[in-house]
Structure 1
Amino acid sequence: MSGMCCRDTLHYVFDYETPKTLVIPSLRMGCVFRFTQLLVILYVIVYVCVIQRAYQEMDSVLSTVTTKVKGFSLTNVSQQEPLFWDTTDHIISPQRDESFFVLTNVVVTPDQIQSRCPEVSRIQTGLCVNFSDSVQTCQVFSWCPLENDTDLPNPALLAAAENFTVLIKNSVTYPKFKFHRRNIRVNSSYLETCEFHHKTDPNCPIFRLKYIVSEAGEDFQEMAVKGGVMGILIDWSCDLDWWWTDKCFPKYSFRRLDNKHIINNVAPGYNFRFAKYYKSANGEETRTLIKAYGIRFNIIVFGTDIFQKKFRSKFGLSDEDS
């Protein structure tokens, strides 16, 4: 019994095993085997590497945007003297983050003072006074005279803003890959003469407002009457492999963002009110109320399918292995 145990132990320690290779001289089996290998290789190269790009990683874009609008217009209506309007008058809240507002139409109520006047929608005094020769209303305490916005100028008073231009300065960062890019090329002479066009000059960061609205399928003159909201979309979808880095430029598109519905047209457009306060000659506090209609341009920056080459990490190699 002990002898058998010794022999088994010696066989276990000193026996040598090797795989046996069997060669099958069959053209049919060889073709099937090579065809299977080819399918695996094509799957790795075409689907995994080219289509799915499994050797790459993705990151989201971080962005900052500033704008500068240039232009002027002149109004000459029968009720007022001719007025010159520059960007200080047209652009309300010029430092608003990633958007800007261009004034296109106004209803002005000048020389309002705290007083009593005929109307029904303010603090009523209990007295009934003449609103016109044929109509009487309750007297109210408010800023008088009251605003009348039923007669909106059409065509828009400041529709000449369609010829204004805006310079959009956009900087983006992909923090994972430490990649930075601006939409402005390092060429000052180019920036002085260019104007964006999606075919002839797609990389220029200077846009004419009329062109932005028309590219969204809208008419600036029509939109200027009651205002609206436009979107300027900047797409930074880039492939950050080393051979594509120098070709990473933004793609611009435009669309109207507010609801323009032919039937459901309740509260259309975009407007708000603001006032300019001053003292009259007799020291009484007075204001000019302005109901401002215009187009707000929202700049939306995004980046999708942003990749960076990562061959070494995909094969389990660290930087110290090189």
Structure 2
Amino acid sequence: MAHRVPRFITDFFVYETAKSVVVKSWSVGIINRVVQLLIILYFICWVFMHEKGHQQRDTGIESAVMSKVKGLGKFNNRVMDVADYVVPSQGGSSFSVITSMVITANQTQGRCPETDPKFKCTTDDECMAKLGSNLGNGIITGTCLNNNNETTGWCEIEGWCPAEDDTVSGKPMKEVENFTIFVKNSIRFPLFNVTRGNFPSSLNQSYIQSCHYDSVDDPFCPIFKVGDILRHINQSFDSITDKGGEIGININWKCNLDYNVMYCNPNYFFTRLDAAFKNSAASKGYNFRFAKYYQSEDGTEHRTLHKAKAIRFEIIVSGNAGKFSTVPFLINLVAAFTSVGLATVFCDIILLNFHKGADEYKAKKFEEVSGIVSESANNRLYEGSQMSLKALEKRSNDSGTFSIGRQDPSNQ
């Protein structure tokens, strides 16, 4: 019956057990110990030089940011203070410092000529073709308002009049370069219940009012000059005020809580967030519009429209904290000792395929034994095993193992 059973079934239902073979080879023995030593050294470096290998990490940082800008500037012969050039005024993690504006004063609801060059016309038909367009300063009525010589004119709009002419702009406030930004950041690592602030409580009021952040001389000062930030990102003041721009103030917390919590302090770095669009043909820089409304004595609603070019600041907080934990340490320890077994696999590949004694090694390492053995055969195997063991005791120093390779002259 046995020969009728398909071979793949008999090959599947087998049991394999390890057989110890001692190979006395200088070359393979040296390779084995060198590979084991390298694996152990790698583990030591990983555990003691890389904190992540044995620390419990907390990346769920909780953060709150408060900001305040200070400085006085002058734009179009008008002195500008914080209430004039900072938008919004709440002092959060995102705010804009206006560098220049196009101001359209005394606008009221009515009809007037468009000022956008896309809406130039000579006939009403040209304006009728642009009905429904929402890209200008108002809704197109379909009428072309020509000048006195009946030459090129402008399409009429209905909306806030007079229409904004954004081709007229004053020079930017040069004083913006000396404006200061105060940043107050508090963070918490919930896993370890650790709370920190971006400057120590020991700093007094006079120091904060006079210091400016410097990564070497004043790393804990929370006051940043706009000009210093621009120099950190290799940007000139003129290049960013021409079209506006976006700058990131990055606060990074990387804390090893195995040490005293007083060493948990932030690092600051700065980036130009809109750098990806510096070569773009459209939508360069940063600008926005806002209006201030009022009523005249006769009840007519008026507004002053501002189109502002600005430097937008984004305060970005990131970080993680780590502390020694037994569980990841033990996991890495077990993984390291398990990896030592790779040396055996590597040496087996050499012995089975490239070593001059490969055939002898294969014969000793792999042996097939039938699972069906009669009682008399068992007795013979037992007696033979006893005799073999006695013979092996004379030929090997390791009981229960086969030894190939170098021979001890005393046993010959």
TM-score scaled to structure 1, two decimals?
0.77
Does residue 239 in structure 1 map to residue 234 in structure 2?
Answer: no
User: In percent, how many aligned pairs have the same letter?
Assistant: 39
Does residue 223 in structure 1 map to residue 240 in structure 2?
Answer: yes
Q: 1:135 aligns with which of 122, 139, 152?
A: 152
Alpha-carbon offset, residue 48 of structure 1: 2.4
Alpha-carbon offset, residue 180 of structure 1: 1.1
Does residue 95 in structure 1 map to residue 90 in structure 2?
Answer: yes
Structure 2 residue matching 1:226: 3-state secondary structure = coil
Does residue 177 in structure 1 map to residue 211 in structure 2?
Answer: no
Does residue 253 in structure 1 map to residue 252 in structure 2?
Answer: no
Judge conservation of contact 2:278–2:284 (CA < 8 Å) in 1. no
The 1:284/1:50 distance shift into structure 2, 3 A limit, reads: same
1:74 is matched with 74
Structure 2 residue matching 1:203: 3-state secondary structure = coil
The 1:312/1:129 distance shift into structure 2, 3 A limit, reads: closer
The 1:92/1:185 distance shift into structure 2, 3 A limit, reads: same
Q: State the Cα RMSD in Å.
A: 2.9
Task: Give the Cα separation in 2 of the matches to 1:159 and 1:234.
Answer: 27
Alpha-carbon offset, residue 176 of structure 1: 0.8
2:99 is matched with 104
Alpha-carbon offset, residue 152 of structure 1: 3.1
Judge conservation of contact 2:245–2:312 (CA < 8 Å) in 1. yes
Q: 1:85 aligns with which of 80, 84, 93?
A: 80
Task: Give the Cα separation in 2 of the matches to 1:150 and 1:315.
Answer: 68
How many residue pairs get matched?
Answer: 280
The 1:263/1:131 distance shift into structure 2, 3 A limit, reads: farther
Aligned partner letter, 1:165:
T
Task: Give the Cα separation in 1 of the matches to 2:300 and 2:179.
Answer: 38
Judge conservation of contact 1:229–1:258 (CA < 8 Å) in 2. yes
Structure 2 residue matching 1:177: 3-state secondary structure = coil
1:17 is matched with none
Judge conservation of contact 1:99–1:298 (CA < 8 Å) in 2. yes
Structure holding more strand per residue? 1
Task: Give the Cα separation in 2 of the matches to 1:215 and 1:36.
Answer: 47
Aligned partner letter, 1:192:
Q
Aligned partner letter, 2:234:
G
Structure holding more helix per residue? 2
Task: Give the Cα separation in 1 of the matches to 2:50 and 2:78.
Answer: 60
Deviation track 1:61-92 (CA, whole Å, cap 9, x = no partner) reads 221111011111123x4xxxx32211011111
1:56 is matched with 55
Aligned partner letter, 1:210:
G
Judge conservation of contact 2:56–2:328 (CA < 8 Å) in 1. no
Alpha-carbon offset, residue 116 of structure 1: 1.3
What are the within-5 Å matches in structure 2 for residues 156-235 of structure 1? 156=172, 158-186=173-201, 187-188=203-204, 189-235=206-252
Structure 2 residue matching 1:237: 3-state secondary structure = strand
The 1:315/1:289 distance shift into structure 2, 3 A limit, reads: same
Task: Give the Cα separation in 2 of the matches to 1:47 and 1:132.
Answer: 84
2:285 is matched with 269
1:25 is matched with none
2:386 is matched with none
Alpha-carbon offset, residue 263 of structure 1: 4.2
Gaps of 5+ in 2: 1-29, 120-135, 332-412
Alpha-carbon offset, residue 51 of structure 1: 2.8
